[in-house]
Amino acid sequence: MKLDLDRCTGCKLCQLVCSVVNFGENNPKKAGIRVISRLFTDARYDVVVCDQCAVCIDACPVGAISMEDGVVRIDPDTCTNCGVCVETCPNGALFSHPDVDYPIKCIACGECARLCPRGVLDALAEVGKVAS
């Protein structure tokens, strides 16, 4: 997945959209995407989001993670929230939150890309169209 990081202004609207769409609340810490400030680099912000590499599938000791239509999914009923997938993720794109009983990750819904005012996430929008 290619993101246009040069366009990112760090507004974090993507995090807000993700938390509202997936958890029904304004809580960016419950988002499957993160914007990280890198102010003294060429791209001033990094966007950390799952690229659906599937490394976590093999790492999960209880088989709670699978690939469905090109998107890595976590079954919350099977997941024990052991954190192995979070530790294993090569991109740091799985996140824990104390209110959620399973790791949070991008499900490629495309809503963050659709609402990004700067077009940073256009590649993710294309994934969302396929996954929907």
CA angle, 73 then 79 then 81, to 5°: 110
Tell whether the model's pLDDT for residue 88 goes beyond 60: yes
Tell whether the model's pLDDT for residue 130 goes beyond 80: no
Hey, what domains does the chain have and what are their CATH numbers?
A: 5-131 (3.30.70.20)
pLDDT score for 94: 97
What sections of the chain are H helices per DSSP? 13-23, 55-59, 84-88, 111-115, 122-131
Q: Among residues 41, 83, 44, 91, which one has the least CA distance to residue 65?
A: 83
pTM, rounded to two decimals: 0.84
The share of the chain scoring above pLDDT 90, in percent, equals 75
For residue range 33-59, what is the model confidence (pLDDT) as tens digits? 999 998 777 768 889 999 999 999 999
SS3 94: coil
pLDDT score for 128: 45
